[in-house]
Amino acid sequence: MERIERRFWRYVLQQWKPLVVALLCSAGVTAITGLTAYLLEQVIRSMDMRDSAMLNRVSLTVIGVFALKWFFSYGQVYYLALAGQRMMARLREDIFAHLQRLPLSFFQSRQIGSIQSILTNDVPLVQNAVLLVRDVLDAPLRIVAFTAYIFYLNWRLALLALLFLPLIATLIRRMGRQIHRITHQTQGALAEISALVQETLAGVRVIKAFATEDRQIERFVRQNRQVLSHSLRGERRRARLRPTVEFIGAVSIALVLWFGGQQVAAGHMTTGQLLSFLFLLHQIAQAASGVGAIQFTRKQVRAAAERIFREVLDVEPEVYDPPNAITLPPVQGAIQYENVWFCYPSSEQHALKGVSFEIQPGEVVALVGHSGAGKSTLVDLLLRFYSPTQGRILIDNHDIQQVRLESLRSQIGVVPQQTVLFVGTVAENIAYSQPNAPMEAIEQAARQAHAHEFIEQLPNGYHTLIGDKGVRLSGGESQRIAIARALLRNPRILILDEATASLDPISEQMIRRVIEEGRGVRTTLIIAHRWSTVQIADRILVLHQGRLVEQGTHAELMQKGGYYAQLYRAAQLEVL
Chain residues in the site for ligand ADP (CB under 6 A)? 108, 344, 346-347, 351, 369, 371-377
To ligand ADP, the closest distance from the beta carbon of 563 in angstroms equals: 14
Contact 545, 369 (CB under 8 A): no
DSSP 339-378: EEEEE-TT-SSEEEEEEEEEE-TT-EEEEE--TTSSHHHH
Looking at residue 490, what DSSP letter applies? -
Q: What residues are paired with 395 via a beta bridge?
A: 335, 398
Q: Is 238 helix (H, G, I), strand (E, B) or coil?
A: helix
To ligand ADP, the closest distance from the beta carbon of 119 in angstroms equals: 23
Length of the chain measured in residues: 576
To ligand ADP, the closest distance from the beta carbon of 316 in angstroms equals: 17
To ligand ADP, the closest distance from the beta carbon of 543 in angstroms equals: 6
Q: What Å distances lie between residue 59 and 42, 49, 108, 225, 487, CA to CA?
A: 9, 15, 69, 60, 80
Q: Among residues 151 and 344, whose Cβ is nearest to ligand ADP?
A: 344
**Which among 177, 407, 150 is positioned nearest to 287, based on CA atoms?**
150
To ligand ADP, the closest distance from the beta carbon of 375 in angstroms equals: 3
To ligand ADP, the closest distance from the beta carbon of 108 in angstroms equals: 4
| Cβ neighbours, 10 Å, residue 389 | 14
Phi, psi angle pair for 369, to nearest 5°: 165, 160
To ligand ADP, the closest distance from the beta carbon of 547 in angstroms equals: 11
Amino acid type, 503: L
Q: Among residues 134 and 350, whose Cβ is nearest to ligand ADP?
A: 350
Q: Among residues 345 and 505, whose Cβ is nearest to ligand ADP?
A: 345
Q: Among residues 91 and 528, whose Cβ is nearest to ligand ADP?
A: 528
Phi, psi angle pair for 338, to nearest 5°: -115, 105
Q: Among residues 178 and 417, whose Cβ is nearest to ligand ADP?
A: 417
Q: Is 114 helix (H, G, I), strand (E, B) or coil?
A: helix
Q: What residues are paired with 325 via a beta bridge?
A: none
To ligand ADP, the closest distance from the beta carbon of 372 in angstroms equals: 4
Rounded (10°) angle between helices 129-153 and 155-162: 140
Q: Among residues 373 and 494, whose Cβ is nearest to ligand ADP?
A: 373
Contacts of 453 (CB under 8 A, 6+ apart): none
To ligand ADP, the closest distance from the beta carbon of 343 in angstroms equals: 9
Q: Among residues 259 and 344, whose Cβ is nearest to ligand ADP?
A: 344
Q: Among residues 350 and 485, whose Cβ is nearest to ligand ADP?
A: 350
Contact 369, 543 (CB under 8 A): yes
Q: Among residues 34 and 374, whose Cβ is nearest to ligand ADP?
A: 374
Q: What Å distances lie between residue 384 and 99, 161, 277, 387, 398, CA to CA?
A: 18, 72, 73, 6, 13
Q: Among residues 241 and 383, whose Cβ is nearest to ligand ADP?
A: 383
Contact 383, 525 (CB under 8 A): no
Percent of the chain that is helix, strand, coil (3-state, to 5): 65, 10, 25
To ligand ADP, the closest distance from the beta carbon of 340 in angstroms equals: 13
